[in-house]
Amino acid sequence: MKSQNKSVRKFLSREVHVEIINTILDTARWAASGSNTQPWEVVVLSGASKRDLGEKIEAKFWDGIRGKMDYQYYPVDWEEPYRRRRIECGKALYNALDIGREDIERRKSQWSANYRSFDAPVMMLFFMNRIMETGSYLDYGIFLQSIMLAAMDHGLATCPQASLGEYPELVREHVGYSNEYIVVCGLAIGYEDNSDPVNNYRTAREEVPDFTRYME
């Protein structure tokens, strides 16, 4: 059966109760981590705190101030097949929204919605102490996926967002974290707006034989 897990970029305004968020995090906290280090730190934003942070980041973006993540997320020089997959992913999104390649302003507007967590009612921000190393990023991936799957069990949709780590100094200042912590990423969470075309496309996936070898 095909997985129903997907990144959602348009949400209903329906409130997500804090009790549900707590239940989701209570499930995810059992995610595996090397030597049980549990490197995750989570800040949950809604209401004015979420809106204010989104406005601050968007203002930087529209002023042409480009942010820089605390770590290198993507390769500096793209090679195949990763370059092709990245391009196809972008095309699928903009085709679903009927945004042409030459429509720079609409493309920028769509991108800036990242910084508002696509207007989801809840934004999660994830932090990690700088003393932690590469293995903890693997642990964090397990933790994030656990949150996303637990959210589905409660009828919620999500979108993991590296973009929310693009202005880490601003994010840390907003939530009161010191520079000892890196901003790993964010996560939009809420109830999916099924009527919006941005939620009705799926990115392609490689077939199992294309990335798997069995040896006996």
Q: Is 162 buried (19+), middle (13-18) or exposed (0-12) by CB count in 10 A?
A: middle
Reading the chain (216 residues) residue by residue, the pLDDT tens digits are: 455 788 999 999 999 999 999 999 999 999 999 999 999 999 999 999 999 999 999 999 999 999 999 999 999 999 999 999 999 999 999 999 898 988 999 999 999 999 999 999 999 999 999 999 999 999 999 999 999 999 999 999 999 999 999 999 999 999 999 999 999 999 999 999 999 989 988 899 999 999 999 999
3-state secondary structure of 100: coil
Under CATH, which number does the domain 18-77+115-197 receive?
3.40.109.10
User: Model's pTM, two decimal places?
Assistant: 0.95
What pLDDT, on the 0 to 100 scale, is given for residue 2?
53
Q: Which strand ranges, in their side-by-side order, compose the sheet holding 157-161? A: 41-46, 122-129, 181-190, 157-161
Q: Do residues 94 and 107 make contact, with C-beta atoms less than 8 angstroms apart?
A: yes
What pLDDT, on the 0 to 100 scale, is given for residue 22?
98
Q: What's at 10, amino acid-wise?
A: K
What pLDDT, on the 0 to 100 scale, is given for residue 214?
97
What are 145-154's contacts with CB under 8 Å, separation 24+?
145/31, 146/27, 146/28, 146/30, 146/31, 147/24, 147/25, 147/28, 147/187, 148/5, 148/187, 149/5, 150/23, 150/24, 150/27, 150/28, 151/24, 151/189, 152/4, 152/5, 153/27, 154/20, 154/23, 154/24
Q: Do residues 191 and 12 make contact, with C-beta atoms less than 8 angstroms apart?
A: yes
* Distance (Å, whole) CA 137 – CA 135: 5
What pLDDT, on the 0 to 100 scale, is given for residue 107?
92
| Domain range summary for the chain, segments of one domain joined by + | 18-77+115-197
Contacts of 55 (CB under 8 A, 6+ apart): none
